[in-house]
Amino acid sequence: MTDLVEVRRGAYYDSVSLMQVSTAVRGAPGVSAALVAMATGLNTDLLAGMGFSVNEAVGPNDLLVAIRGEDVSAIEAGRTALDGALAALKAAGASAGGFGDAPPPRTVGTAAARSGANLALISVPGANAFVDAMDAVNSGASVMLFSDNVSVEQEIVLKDAAAAADVLVMGPDCGTAVIAGVALGFANLVRPGSVGLIAASGTGAQQIMCLLDIAGVGMSHCLGVGGRDLSSAVGGRATRQALAALGADPSTSSIIVVSKPPAADVLAAVQEYAATVGKPVHWAILGQGRPDLTAAVESALATAVDGIPEWPHWLADAPAELATPAGGFLRGLFCGGTLADEAMIVASEQLGPIRSNTPLSPDLALGPDLRSPSHLVIDFGDDSLTQGRPHPMIDPSLRLERIALEGADPTCSVLLLDLVLGLGSHPDPADELAAAIRSARTAASAGGRELPVVISLVGVEGDPQGLSACAKTLNASGASVFVSNAQATRHALSLLANTSAQEETS
């Protein structure tokens, strides 16, 4: 047997690193024993106990290396393994991974401070979201607050703190943002460009960015502000911040603001402020008597080089000669809240009051069973229907069950659906939806009636699911498919009108 004892001075390693090195040395061919350790008194004693002798003065700040092998070549193999393992530690920075390092960050603020991050995406239960969001703001980071169930009082405090820190709070309940081409939450893979979008509406923002993409126009950023931002209570705090940010952003040449119905005085004040940012600002503001989202996009595109395209659609084959229900109703089953709102606004101009779980006026609220012998629109993404379950853009099961019910309901004359593609959404939603549509139409047919189905398909070709592929799958199930939610709604209304006309004629 041959022994090697070596002292390496000024080499400080933590115990795990030294254990790894010892293991590597012991595994070298012909090595029968090895110890690599700091030369503390006990370790030199341990070495002596193993039969090694240290022939020079050592101190506890030195590194001891002891190798025992069958012969000289085994010792050389051990030494080579030692040098290789120490070099690997150095290359991996593992020698620095010891006592000098702090524990991993435990708070958003610490993580932001250590990493230099300037944006935090917070998705924790609403009761805890405020603390984390404030921590991020205090650390100089903007926040995308995905969480819902944050009180309006907390939202105001957060947004005031953000304004003071010159950062942006996107949310709460902000599901969609695109920052410099990076999609956060539910977002579509749209082309880069110079239009900046400010959105107090998630699926509204997706509708607009997809229509722009289809028109050949790209986005610089999409900044969510939370659905309540233009309410009287919140007063457009984040919208102002976002307008200022996009106004100062060199990659943004024009701005679109999209919102669910806002407080009129807040909208007026924000529009007054928008006039000062020095860039064209277009408004896609939902509300009765206002342009729908598609019309707002067309207005913004009026000066675009390529003009306004014909929005793609895939019409279903002519309906079979089946009876339609007398006095039937429109049934809208949506995943996107803003798309549901827009459908109700467009449809109510023709149909009058529409019952809903997210009604345009409180007196039109549906009961807890979500049933009514009338025109109705259900938003399956509403908070009351997502407690304890994923959003229907991820888990469509609740809506698929309702589609089956409508197929068997003789009072349902036209079924209006949406489907939102993109990152974060169900990876393959069209097949499941198409199967549900086929089943519903078959059930209706068995009941002696035709059930027209119209789909508002929000997406772009670049999305993982593929716009055209999904449209064709859905169209093959017998549905008419539109990329414009407003056009889909109007087509559904036209089918309903045809139904009524048929009834009057017969």
Partner 1 sequence: MTPQAPLREVPGAGSPLSQAVLTGPSRQAVVLASFPTALYLSFGEHHEILPVLASDALMLPTAVRLSAPSRALAWGVQPGDPVTIGRSEIRLPAWRVRLVRQWRPARVGAFHQLAGPALLSEIADTLSRHASSAQLAEQATAVCRAARCGDHGEVHRATRRLLGAGIGLTPSGDDVLCAVLLVLNGVGEPAPIALLGGAVQDRWSSTTSLSASLLDAARAGYAVPEVAALVECALHGDLPGALRTLPPTLDIGSSSGADLVAGLAGALRVLATSNSPIPTR
Query: Residues interacting with partner 1, by CB under 8 A?
Result: 9-19, 22, 35-38, 40-43, 59-61, 93, 95-104, 106, 113-114, 116
CB 84, min distance to partner 1, A: 19
C-alpha Rg value of the chain to the nearest Å: 32
Q: Which of 43, 81, 77, 45 is nearest to 62 (CA)?
A: 43
Instruction: Closer to partner 1 by CB, 29 or 125: give it.
Output: 125
Cis ω before 192 (30° cut-off from 0): no
C-beta of residue 150 within 8 angstroms of C-beta of residue 172: yes
CB 79, min distance to partner 1, A: 19
Determine whether 343 is exposed, middle or buried from the number of CB atoms within 10 Å of its CB (0-12, 13-18, 19+). Answer: buried
Residue 265 CB partners (closer than 8 Å, separation 6+): 232
Q: Which of 229, 299, 296 is nearest to 266 (CA)?
A: 229
CB 40, min distance to partner 1, A: 3
Residues present in the chain in total: 506
Instruction: Closer to partner 1 by CB, 92 or 365: give it.
Output: 92
CB 300, min distance to partner 1, A: 43
Residue entry with tokens 């395209």: 309
Consecutive H or E run containing 198:
strand 192-200
CB 269, min distance to partner 1, A: 41
Instruction: Closer to partner 1 by CB, 94 or 420: give it.
Output: 94
Instruction: Closer to partner 1 by CB, 9 or 389: give it.
Output: 9
Q: What is the token pair recorded at 31?
A: 């090595």
Instruction: Closer to partner 1 by CB, 95 or 374: give it.
Output: 95
CB 44, min distance to partner 1, A: 9
Residue entry with tokens 């860039």: 279
CB 90, min distance to partner 1, A: 12
Instruction: Closer to partner 1 by CB, 58 or 340: give it.
Output: 58
d(CA 87, CA 20): 12
d(CA 162, CA 133): 10
Instruction: Closer to partner 1 by CB, 37 or 234: give it.
Output: 37
